[in-house]
Amino acid sequence: MSAVIARAEARPKYRVSMVELLILAVGATTVNSALYFTGMSAGASFDVTGAPFDEITYTLVSVASFVPILLMGTVALYLGWLKPSILPAARWIGVILALGSIASSYVVTDSFAAGTWLGLMHVVSAVAWYVAVGRKSAQ
């Protein structure tokens, strides 16, 4: 066996499974919904300024949790089939976008508490994205 083939076989293969992606999107949505209701119970005001809506609602939290992970995960799935080496970069780009947008939570909400709860939701989404995209395959 040549050294080139041995190195290629030794490299980890990355994969994204549509079923796993769907499960993690639902999981992130469930956890973020629980965080939303916990924040509401704790007295956080999810009123918004400077946006096309007046309040962050359960529906908005659910859609904003589920759709980006599923939609962009599907794009990552497709790109991963074309070129598996892109998945590690896609994994970190998604995490950076999710964590980098935490600042917007404090900008658009009227209360620090709501910004903190929304920031926690961004962390949950970042973790779900990290787990879903670019997992090393056992093969």
pLDDT tens track for 43-98: 998 988 877 778 899 999 999 999 999 999 999 888 888 888 888 899 999 999 99
The answer to whether 22 and 70 have CB atoms below 8 angstroms apart is yes
Q: Which pLDDT score is estimated for 120?
A: 97
Q: How does residue 138 score in pLDDT terms, banded at 50, 70 and 90?
A: very low
Mean pLDDT, range 97-124, rounded to an integer? 93
Q: Which domain, by its residues, includes 65?
A: 3-136
Predicted pLDDT of residue 9: 53
Tokens of 38: 């916990």
State residue 14's pLDDT score: 56
Count the domains in the chain.
Answer: 1
Reply yes or no on whether the pLDDT at 3 is more than 70: no
- Indicate whether 8 pLDDT > 90: no
135 beta partners = 15
Q: What is the pTM of this model?
A: 0.82
Span 11-43, pLDDT tens digits: 556 556 788 899 999 999 999 999 999 999 999
The two counts, helices (H) then strands (E), for the chain are: 6, 2
Per-residue confidence (pLDDT) for residue 93, from 0 to 100: 94
